[in-house]
Structure 1
């Protein structure tokens, strides 16, 4: 089978290889991959990978969709079923798993990070990590849900759920997770404010009826206060890190919540502890979501609650170009990879 394999760090460490089809252990399922999406973590794995336990060579790719080739008889799956891959291989027996919080599984392994991933013609994984899709599902849209939209779902509906009467600020809203968070918060009925830059991006959000702040030309906290009658945002979604951290904290209303899932511009901002305790702010870390949250996300999408934004699609053989496009400042939304 063909697969995108990371052999070493750097631009020249990734190649399209021909590999034997993987073995399928008892109780696992084999999936013929149809499509996947490119995520920021793919670039991190290519260029660094520090802090993620893994061995090279490694098949890249975290999420995706496909069709079942073989599955255990007691799984409820049959050959030909269309499925979306839950990005975790989890034990199902530890305390977090039994509580339904699979991302905190003591032995969780994320596809494309800790184990072989989805940029391949075939993937094998435990049958419990597959969710059946409708035969009429749009496979391209489904392929981009597993990381960006699942991560955004937990951020938007977690500790401080977005709802009518609440204000949500989304930092850097052109990226995959941030754009998804904007859509989900809007679906929930919250007032949504985004930060971005560039005339095209600003116009895009404003044409959707969303307040958009140009973070290069405006003071973000002052603009948020103006748009909220001096109150600030109840919830701030931030996956940027050091560059936006101070503005995110200063944009919060008293008692507000900041949720972070990334640190692409640095992981060690000022904690601003006095602001935290004086205004009784909360900071929450978030990584993807549970299997139940994944099912809720899929149901919301199937019901038409939102339509994932796909910026561009590439064939598997053009993965290098797909990685380059992920770093294009003009990109907005998700990048799709067609595998079959």
Structure 2
């Protein structure tokens, strides 16, 4: 099969289309003929060497796919061969064939294309666990979602609205902010200055109940300023750096909660639990006229390097995908 690997740690230019043996599913696993794969920030971090693949995991990049199940490992009864699924992977998605845990395969919602479905699993698992479980976002509350134009951001905005929450978001530039406003969010252009004062103004001085943060660094202090009493701060990433000063007096005075998680290292049983919760709570919200992935651009598998450049350059509004089915014979 054809697959994308990084020849060495580095920039997008180190990505290579190479030949690999087609994998075989082990116990509890399925083999998927990949139609499309999602491109995510952890892929970029793995390629650069900042976040290597866990021990024993393939060096083929890619954490989410959509495709057709063509073989079952021992003990697997569902999904059946021939089923179209979207799946969360430990790695290996940038390839013509990928191995997935049967427990992490989700049915594709009606009206969602394979390319759209391929960019959903990572976001669905991440948002369910962080926004709804750890963040406990409830109807009538307001959430601040940083990086609203990202794949996680555009999906998170829609899911929050679908459960009856109000959304404030940040993005860079007037064009992206206008598109986010058209989605029903209140958008703040972070290029114009700190966000805490605008958030407090939009909430009548109360602040937001939940912050979903990808920034880290110095932004944490602003996030604490604009959290309401008993507010929950959930960290997904730290694009501005992992170190931050925390005013504990403010945390104590307002009764704030600071939490975080990362998906890839979670044990198999925990990911399976999340898959069941996503299937029950989030999949019914997806489909035409409901919540749908925002697809920024799709690249052929052989152009994975260009896909990484596009994502790293901040050109995207929504998710980026690789169209594996477009490979020439």
TM-score bracket, normalised by the shorter chain, equals 0.7 to 0.9
Q: Shift of the alpha carbon at 1:243?
A: 4.2
Q: Is the Cα–Cα contact under 8 Å of residues 144 and 212 in structure 2 kept in the other structure?
A: yes
Q: Among residues 76, 83, 86, which one is paired with 2:85 in the alignment?
A: 83
* Deviation at residue 251 of structure 1 after TM alignment: 1.0
What SS does the corresponding residue of 1:59 show, helix, strand or coil? coil
Per-residue CA deviations over 1:286-316 (Å, capped at 9, x if unaligned) read 3346112331322321485301100001000
CA distance in 2, matches of 1:321, 1:42: 13
Aligned partners of 1:229, 1:314: CA distance in 2, in Å?
44
Q: Contact (CA 8 Å) 1:82, 1:134: kept in 2 or not?
A: no
Q: Taking structure 1 as reference, are residues 274 and 305 closer, same or farther at Cα in structure 2, changes over 3 Å only?
A: same
Report the alpha carbon displacement of residue 27 of structure 1 after superposing the two structures with TM. 4.2
For the residues of structure 1 that align with 2:307 and 2:236, how far apart are their CA atoms? Answer: 23
Q: Which runs of 4+ in 1 moved over 4 A?
A: 134-137
Q: How do residues 199-238 of structure 1 correspond to structure 2 at under 5 angstroms?
A: 199-238=174-213
Q: Which residue is equivalent to 1:313? A: 298
Alignment of 1:6 onto 2:14: no
By how many angstroms is 1:84 displaced? Answer: 1.2
Query: Is the contact made by 1:170 and 1:237 (CA closer than 8 Å) also made in structure 2?
Result: yes
Candidates 139, 142, 156, aligned match of 1:167: 142
**Structure 1 residue 218, shift from structure 2 partner:** 3.9
SS at match of 2:246: coil
- For the residues of structure 2 that align with 1:56 and 1:74, how far apart are their CA atoms? 21
Q: Contact between 2:64 and 2:93, CA under 8 Å: does it hold in 1?
A: yes
1:26 CA displacement: 4.4
Task: String of CA shifts for 1:158-177, please: whole Å, max 9, x gaps.
Answer: 13433332111111211121
Q: How far has the Cα of 1:234 moved from its partner? A: 0.5
TM-score, normalising length: structure 1:
0.85
1:6·1:57 contact (CA, 8 Å) conserved in 2?
Answer: no
User: Match for residue 22 of structure 2?
Assistant: 21
1:34: which partner in 2? Answer: 35
Q: What is residue 149 of structure 1 aligned with on the other side?
A: 124
- Aligned residues between the structures: 313
CA 1:185–1:26 in structure 2 vs 1: closer, same or farther (change >3 Å)? Answer: closer
For 1:78 and 1:174, the matched residues in 2 are separated by 36
Aligned pairs (5 A) from 1:89-100:
none
Q: Is 1:126 aligned to residue 101 of structure 2?
A: yes
Aligned counterparts of 2:275 and 2:259: Cα–Cα separation in 1:
20
| C-alpha contact (below 8 Å) 1:33/1:67 kept by paired residues | yes
Counterpart residue number, 2:318: 333
Question: Residues 230-249 of structure 1 correspond to what in structure 2 (within 5 A)?
Answer: 230-249=205-224
1:299 equivalent to 2:284? Answer yes
SS at match of 1:158: helix
Which residue in the other structure is 1:273 paired with? Answer: 248
Task: Work out whether residues 181 and 237 of structure 1, in 8 Å CA contact, stay in contact via their aligned partners in 2.
Answer: no
Q: Is the CA contact 1:85–1:129 (under 8 Å) kept in the aligned structure 2? A: yes
Distance 1:143 1:57 in 2: 19
CA contact (8 A) 2:216 2:238 kept: yes
**Change in CA separation of 1:132 and 1:170 when aligned onto 2, cut-off 3 Å:** closer
Asked if 2 retains the 8 angstrom alpha-carbon contact of 1:34 and 1:338, the reply is yes
Q: Which residue of 1 aligns with 2:71?
A: 70
Deviations 1:171-192 (A, max 9, x none): 1211121222212111111111
CA distance in 1, matches of 2:65, 2:27: 22
Stretch moving more, 193-202 or 23-32: 23-32
**Structure 1: 5+ residue stretches without partners:** 88-110
- Corresponding position: 1:196 with 2:179: no
